[in-house]
């Protein structure tokens, strides 16, 4: 959920350094490719780099950096990370 509005948001909506948990996918065909690359529901993902013109982006997931197009990132529904103490 988007922190301000309560609306669902995507990986493409994250700001640099923000973390989120992968929830689901909007594109079923692309989901297969993303699952093979380690983008599994429940995984924490962090936005690490944004190209100068905004596309592509690099996210840290499953112990490595993964480069994604903004259109690919927009198909990944994420939710807020709950802090565990």
* Domain boundaries of the chain, sorted by first residue: 9-80
Q: Is 25 within 8 Å of 76 (Cβ atoms)? A: yes
Q: At residue 25, what are phi and psi to the nearest 5 degrees?
A: -130, 150
Give 21's contacts (C-beta < 8 A, 6+ positions apart): 42, 43, 44, 45, 78, 79, 80, 81
**What are the pLDDT digits (tens) for 5-59?**
556 789 999 999 999 999 999 988 888 988 888 889 989 999 999 999 989 999 9
Q: How far apart are CA 84 and CA 70, in angstroms?
A: 29
User: At a CB cut-off of 8 Å and minimum separation 6, what does 32 contact?
Assistant: none
d(CA 42, CA 62): 11
Radius of gyration for the chain, computed over Cα atoms and rounded to the nearest angstrom: 12
Query: Topology of 9-80 in CATH?
Result: SH3 type barrels. (2.30.30)
What is the reported pTM? 0.82
pLDDT interval class at 75 (50, 70, 90):
very high
pLDDT at 68: 92
């Amino acid at each position: 959920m988007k922190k301000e509005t309560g609306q669902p948001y995507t990986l493409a909506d994250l700001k640099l350094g923000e973390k989120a948990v992968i929830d689901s996918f909007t594109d079923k065909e692309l989901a297969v490719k993303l699952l093979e690359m380690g983008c599994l529901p429940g995984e924490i993902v962090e936005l690490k780099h944004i190209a100068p013109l905004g596309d592509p982006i690099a996210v840290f997931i499953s112990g490595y950096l993964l480069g994604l197009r903004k259109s690919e990132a927009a198909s990944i529904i994420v939710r807020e990370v709950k802090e565990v103490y």
